[in-house]
Structure 1
Amino acid sequence: MVDDHQALREGLKVILQLEPDFSLLGEAEDGITLARALAPDVIIMDMDLGEMHGTQVTEQILARQPDICVIGFSMHTDPDLAQAMRRAGAKAYLAKSDAPDQLISAIRSCQKNDGK
């Protein structure tokens, strides 16, 4: 999980830990180093990360680890941002205002696409 807001990461962690088939491997403010170290199946990627944009981080991660499924996750609902995230390689894009069930479904969809 990559988000520059610790409170959001903590809230998502609580929600995701309720899913018996999910394991949260780590959380970070930028994610590049952590992705290399942990090689997760799925990354939930914020768009606004301070110095870097989520699209840049996604591109860098997927350039080295193309099998990771990235889900864009942002407070922005602008379709252009969603499209930019998909061009960077994200499999899905969700707004933080969406229901948690939508995020869980997107994660499961990544798992199905990987044959898991």
Structure 2
Amino acid sequence: MASVFPQGFEALEPFAGWAIATEKARYAKRIASTMDELDAFYDVAFPLLKDGRARLESTSMEDISEPDKRLLWLFCSLVTVAFPVEAWRQPRVPDSGAASIDAIVEPAV
């Protein structure tokens, strides 16, 4: 079976479902997840962020490979879950009611 992510990021395979292309879908997954799920994702992905950043900074976005694209999307999801994990300890923004994120335009990738 082929790896979903680039070599060196095999630990992220169980979290391939977090490689989500759009901000709105990443937010929806965060809201639909439990804190245990967010913690598990964060605990594996965060230590790989520095290496992932270095890899992606040396990658041309014009001809980015599918594994690198999924790695980029996964780290975008990490940004989406970081504050709930580090500060709020809940998937939703505290005291916000029915808050949502409505991106008008998504980054081109």
Q: By percentage of residues, which structure has more strand?
A: 1
Q: Which has the higher contact order (CA 8 A, sep 6+)?
A: 2
Q: TM-score, normalised by structure 1?
A: 0.30
- Quick check: which one's helix share is greater? 2
Q: Which has the larger radius of gyration?
A: 2
In the superposition, the TM-score normalised over structure 2's length comes to 0.31
